[in-house]
Amino acid sequence: MARVRRHFLIEGRVQGVGFRHSAVGKALSLSLTGWVRNLPNGAVEVQAQGEEDHVLEMEKWLRRGPSMARVTRCTVIERPLEREETAFTIRHF
- What are phi and psi for residue 15, nearest 5 degrees? -115, 145
Examine the residue annotation and report whether 20 is marked as an active-site residue of this protein: yes
Determine contact, residues 78/6, Cβ cutoff 8 Å: yes
CA 78 to chain centroid: 13
Tell me the residue length of the chain: 93
39-88 pLDDT, tens digit per residue, is: 999 999 999 999 999 999 999 999 999 999 999 999 999 999 999 999 99
17-42 pLDDT, tens digit per residue, is: 999 999 999 999 999 999 999 999 99
Examine the residue annotation and report whether 38 is marked as an active-site residue of this protein: yes
Domain covering 3-82, topology = Alpha-Beta Plaits (3.30.70)
In the set 3, 5, 20, 91, the catalytic residue is: 20
In the set 5, 37, 38, 64, the catalytic residue is: 38
Domain boundaries defined on the chain: 3-82
pLDDT for position 72: 98
pTM passes above 0.75: yes
- Whole-number Å distance between alpha carbons of 78 and 59: 12
